Structure formats: C-alpha cells, structure tokens
A and B are shown apart, each in its own frame.
Chain A
Amino acid sequence: MKKVFAREELCVNCRLCEVYCKTNHSKSKDIIKAYKTENPAPVSRISVYGDKMLSVAVNCRHCDDPACVRACITGAMTKDKKTGIVSVNENKCIGCMTCLAVCPVGCIKTGNIAFKCDLCGGEEPACVKNCPNRALLWLETGGSE
C-alpha cells in the first residue's frame, strides 16, 4: 500500500500539511470556513512536532497489525483488507479514545470522536500534495520514490 512518509531533514515547520489536512477533512473544503466558522470544527489528522530547528510531520502509519484496531471497543476502527487503510467509522465511534491510549506513534486526534489520517481515501493525500518542499512523500511501502 501507499503511505505518507516524512523527511525531517526537509521539514521547515510551516504546518501547511495541517492546514490542508484540516481543510480537506472539513465540510466546506474552504480554508477560511474550516478555520473560522465550521461547527463542529474540522480536525487535522497530521501534526508537526519539534521546533524551528528540527521538526517532522506525524500521521498514521497504517500499521500491519494496528494496536488501535485491536483495542477498539466498538468495532469502529478497522483496517481495510484491500487498501490497508486504517479508518474510523464515525457512526460507531463513541469517542472513548482507547485507540489514542494505545497508539505508539501518537497520531489519533481528539474531537467529539476519534479522528485519524485516512490517507484521503486513497488519492494523493492533501498533505503530500501541498507540502512546498517535498518533506512529505506518498510512497509504496518497500518501494522507492
């Protein structure tokens, strides 16, 4: 499967990945509305950690045997057999956040329910598309660029 890979050597902590992720996961798909007016506020599923000197964007690793899927108490968190994408069924999630309590990477986000990277459904993800310095890559795992 294709996943998002971050290169901390190239990250400049601009956080545009967060902006575009949040917008792409909003109802309006409009940056201003996503940030200023939408209720419930959309949630970015990628986060940049670090400081101006050293930073990196972290989002879901879509693990082979995901701890979040095993721990999910409602069956809302699943890994798609075909695509490998780990995602949350928003009707089933009750927002207990057990997934967050067991994710070793720290990529589950809290809203009224759990939010996480869904790889934008399989298209080139918004974070990768809008990373200005190619610190984020969308690569087949095990393959090269």
Chain B
Amino acid sequence: MNYIIIGASAAGLAAAQEIRKTDKSGTVTLITEESYMPYSRPSISYFLKGKVKESDMFLRKPNFYKENKIDVVTDTKVTSIDTEKKIVKAGRKSYPYDKLCLCTGSVPFIPPMENVKGKSNALTFLDLRATKAVKKLANDKTRAVVIGAGLIGMKAAEGLVKVCRSVDVVELAPRVLPSILDSNSSKLVKKHLEDNKINFHLENTVVKAESKGDKITSVLLKSGKKLPCDLLILAVGVRPQSELAEKAGLEVNRGIITDTQTMQTSNKDIYAAGDCTVSVDMLDHSKKIIALWPNAVQQGTAAGSQMAGGEITTGNTYSVNAIDFFGLRICTCGLINAQGDQYKDKIKKDSDSYKRLIFEGDRLVGFVLINSSQNAGIYTSLISNKVPLNFIQGDIMDTPSLFMFDKDIRKFKLTGGMQV
C-alpha cells in the first residue's frame, strides 16, 4: 500500500503515525510545502519573543521518522491530484497513491486594502517562515500594527510587544478574541492586554496604507485615524485551504466535506483531516470549521486508521481551546456563544477571574474560564460524555474534582478497575 499525506502539521502527522500503527509494511509519505520537519505552529509567537528555541519546536524527535518509516518530503507544493491515475503532482514530480489524505490546513484570509499587497513589511503570521520574516523586522524602534484581534493576531501582538516600541491592534468586531470569548469575558481580557501595552482600535479597520518604496510607513483607519507603521501583521482570519480538493472534484463547501466519523471524502480513496475540513459539532449538530489542534489530531488519527483498514473513528467532535496571554489563562470549551432559549448559564467572577458555565437541559455544553481553569478537563469530560448533571455531587461552580462523582465512578477513574 502506498499512503500519501499532504500537509505535515497536527492532522498530517497524526494520520501518518496512525497509518504506521495499523499497517507495518506500507510506504508512508508526508509531503509539505514548508522547509521544516513537522513543528508546532502554535509555538511561533513564543519563538518570536525568544521563549522557545527553533530546535525545541519540532513535534517529534528525528528518529521517530526513521523508526516508523515515515518519509517526510519538504519544500514540495502539491499542484494537482489526478484521481483517475491516482497520482499526486508537485510540479514535475509525481507521487502515486493507493490512499491519500489531505491535511492542508488553513490559509490567511486577506481583505482588500489599498496599497498593502506586495509590500515588504506587510506579513502574515501563520508559519515559521513568516515568523522569521517578522522577527527580522521587529526591534525596539518598530511600531507594529496588527490587523485582527483573533487568536493569531493576539498571539502575534503578545510576541511583538516584547520586542517592539509599540503594538496597535485593529479589529472589525467590537471585542477581542471573538471566536473564543463571550462579550463579558472579552472585556476582562482586553483590559489585561491593555495593561500589557497593547493598544486597541475596535470596530475599526485599515482602509489604506501609505508607503515609501516597497515599505509601508503608516496606515489609515476607517475612523480617520492614522497610525505610523513599520511592520503590518495581516491576521484578519483564515480559511480552509481546499483548492486542491476542489480541483480534484471532491465535494467542498468552504471546507472539504467528509464522512464525519471516517474522514473519507466524496472520493473513496481520499481522506481529509484538520482545519481544511468541515466538522459537525456534537453539541448543536452545526457544521463548522473547527480550526483547533485537538480536533485536527483526532481527525488525523481517525483518517489514518481508516486508510490502513483500522477501525478508529473521530468519536465526539467539539471545540476545546486553552491559551494564555501575559500570564492570564483562558480555557474554553463547547458552545460558548450559544444563542437560544434552551441555553442557560451560570457566572462566577471577581476582579481577575471569570467562570461561566453554559447548560442545555440537564447537560453542561460549554465553559469559559479565565484564571479559573483548575481541573478544567473534568468539565470537558462532562461535556464530551454528555453526563447528566443529576450525576454530579456538590456545586458545579466550585473547582471540579473527582468528588463530583459517586464513590464507584471516582474509584474507577483512579484505579481503572484495579483492586487496591
């Protein structure tokens, strides 16, 4: 069997690993357009501020690939898929496959702005190559402007504030981190970020840039304000990288459409996993792009297993995310922006922490925890296992622990059924 995987981040690596677990003899080839062995993209902002070394960013040790006979082909951009001949083409090179997995992730979405495209100091912030370019331009004289206050933009801003003279963030929405925070908690987070010297321009957008040669020197906002700018980070958002799939005739609707359990696409020999696919959230059955690491690994693992004849499926799909900004810890899961009468919530907060649990009927369906994430995984397990709340002992708003469960369940969780 000849397995080809396109894309070598969370989903691609998980797929390769699982294929090898299931099929000891087939050839496994991981093709990436990047120049590096699989590395942690979420670490790029830590690399930018100098907290993590490049050599500590790699997801596996070099001998992992040797031991598991996984061939990683770098610097190779796949240009087309011939589904008739079952060949993947990268320029003049071609790679035959029996089973193919698309783990192409996301690409930055860049809205039209006058005089920005092609400027040497207008950069994206999604991969290591881009981060190295940003790092070269960032110093104690740099006035940086970040467009977008989502996860990528805010991580860029956090990294830049350590090295730059000033960091301004421009965001179209009225709040920061709209994808992971509700409006209450985003106020608290915004204040913390401002205390750490990030300036915000919310409900605003960059209309055009002024430049000298190929360099942007300032940007003009919709509000009329002008910001001097030596470095412009484009972090408005991302969209699934699904062109290859589309060209190959696979079913695509924003992201690649797959069977949600097996990750098989509309072509039986092609699978897809990670940010490039459309997920179905178990909590409200909505179709969405869940561009989060644990989801990508889960889907990659399922795809890899299925490709090699195994039986692992994705199981329960939901969003779970944890991130920190200047020591402020944010942990969210499930339906944090749920709308509708069926949802109720409970909130507990003080000056620097916030806990909001969201319920539907007798189930927990979401949480937003800021500086209150101790043992959050127990909440996550209540959500993903759809545990009825009448099983839970004590006040659910307290720090969760195994004492939420009765003695038998608690004992089983601690011993795995072993008699001690």
Flag whether A6 is at the interface (Cβ < 8 A). yes
Q: Are B51 and A5 in contact (CB under 8 A)?
A: no
Q: Smallest distance from the beta carbon of A87 to chain B beta carbons, Å?
A: 14
Q: Are A5 and B402 in contact (CB under 8 A)?
A: no
Interface residues of A in 61-79 (CB under 8 A from B): 61, 67, 70-71, 73-75
A-B pairs with beta carbons under 8 A, tally? 130
Q: Of B14, B60, B377, which contacts A106 at CB under 8 A?
A: B377
For the complex, give the distance between the alpha carbons of A67 and B376 in Å: 13
Interface residues of A in 38-62 (CB under 8 A from B): 49-50, 54, 56, 58, 61
Q: Smallest distance from the beta carbon of A88 to chain B beta carbons, Å?
A: 12
Q: Are A97 and B373 in contact (CB under 8 A)?
A: yes
A-B contact pairs, 10 of them (CB 8 A): A58-B414, A70-B301, A74-B40, A74-B59, A75-B59, A91-B53, A92-B40, A92-B52, A94-B42, A144-B419
Q: Which residues of B contact A (CB under 8 A)?
A: 10, 14, 40, 42-43, 46, 51-53, 56-60, 293-294, 297-298, 301, 320-324, 329, 331, 333, 373-378, 380-381, 400-403, 407, 410-411, 413-416, 418-420
Q: Are B403 and A6 in contact (CB under 8 A)?
A: no
Flag whether A142 is at the interface (Cβ < 8 A). yes
Q: Are A50 and B403 in contact (CB under 8 A)?
A: yes
- What secondary structure prevails in chain A residues at the interface with B? loop
Q: Are A74 and B57 in contact (CB under 8 A)?
A: yes
Report B-chain residues with C-beta under 8 Å of the C-beta of A13: none
For the complex, give the distance between the alpha carbons of A88 and B409 in Å: 28
Q: Of B59, B321, B380, B411, which contacts A104 at CB under 8 A?
A: B380
For the complex, give the distance between the alpha carbons of A141 and B374 in Å: 28
For the complex, give the distance between the alpha carbons of A145 and B419 in Å: 10
Please give me the residue from chain A that is nearest to B371 by CB atom: A110
Q: Are B420 and A5 in contact (CB under 8 A)?
A: yes
Report A-chain residues with C-beta under 8 Å of the C-beta of B400: 106
Report B-chain residues with C-beta under 8 Å of the C-beta of A5: 414-415, 418, 420
